[in-house]
Amino acid sequence: MLGSSIDSAQLLEALYQTLYMVSVALVIGSLIGIPLGILLVVTRTNGIWPNAIIHHVLNPIINILRSVPFIILLIAIVPFTKLLVGTSIGTTAAIVPLTVYVAPYIARLIENSLLEVDDGIIEAANAMGASPVQIIRYFLLPEALGSLILSITTAIIGLIGATAMAGAVGGGGIGDMALVYGYQRFDTLVILITVIVLVIIVQLIQSLGNVLARKVRRN
């Protein structure tokens, strides 16, 4: 027993649920957020493919989604969640709001990373006759890769924090364990254990992201 309320098997199950929610939401959120982030950059007035309509539509939508606290978003899109997965309760159901939460977050992080690329590189690519797609693929993304890795690392850590709140609606995971077995049963030891586990996970992810980013920038 790890505490008066949980054992190691329950902790491992909660850890698996957290990693499952984070990994699936991250993959789907990245597939949505990364292209959106690229579009935000290239469609700017001084971008490589200026398009005021696309930029002025995407920008406020992303701002609106990012401004909604996750716990409110979790409840607000319950009908949408039920439509997609048939239920609003459980680990799989929690992936829907997690994805809606992280996709615009990733888009903004990607935008910030790409804007760090020196304008001289883009100008050189244009001078070589590269198309917008070639500029994105061979110049913009490779040049920003180190920063992009750190951005995704930040998104993962943000997702881990969001999964803890998903426990409020029975989403499962470490956060659900802390809420049900720790807070509601006044078991301080359970809360302490879950906090330590989350801190270790976050530290490992941040350290890995830092190492990968350094390697990429050296190369």
Q: Is residue 49 part of a domain?
A: yes
- The CB density around residue 111, as the number of other CB atoms within 10 Å, is 21
**Count of domains observed in the chain:** 1
Give the confidence band of 7 by pLDDT, cuts at 50, 70, 90: confident
The model's pLDDT over 92-129, given as tens digits with 9 standing for 90+, comes to 889 999 999 999 999 999 999 999 988 888 888 888 88
Identity (one letter) of the amino acid at 126? N
CATH assignment at residue 113:
1.10.3720.10
Please tell me the predicted confidence (pLDDT) of residue 173. 84
Q: How far apart are CA 51 and CA 202, in angstroms?
A: 38
Q: What's the maximum distance between 2 C-alpha atoms anywhere in the chain?
A: 68
Q: Is residue 1 part of a domain?
A: no
Q: Is residue 4 part of a domain?
A: no
Taking the model in full, what pTM does it have? 0.89
What is the mean pLDDT of the segment spanning 1-22? 79
Please tell me the predicted confidence (pLDDT) of residue 168. 67
Please tell me the predicted confidence (pLDDT) of residue 110. 95
Q: Flag whether pLDDT at 1 surpasses 70.
A: no
DSSP string covering 99-122: HHHHHHHHHHHHHHHHHTS-HHHH
Residue labelled with tokens 């990733």:
106
Mean pLDDT (the chain) is: 88
Q: Report the share of the chain in percent with pLDDT over 90.
A: 50
Q: Is residue 69 part of a domain?
A: yes
Identity (one letter) of the amino acid at 68? V
Q: Is residue 15 part of a domain?
A: yes
**Which among 91, 140, 108, 94 is positioned nearest to 34, based on CA atoms?**
108
Q: Is residue 175 part of a domain?
A: yes
Q: Of the ranges 39-48, 52-61, 168-177, 198-207, which one carries the lowest mean pLDDT score?
A: 168-177
Please tell me the predicted confidence (pLDDT) of residue 4. 54
Q: Is residue 3 part of a domain?
A: no
Query: Is 156 within 8 Å of 22 (Cβ atoms)?
Result: yes
Q: How far apart are CA 112 and CA 185, in angstroms?
A: 43
Q: Is residue 208 part of a domain?
A: yes
Domain of residue 29 covers 9-218
Please tell me the predicted confidence (pLDDT) of residue 146. 92
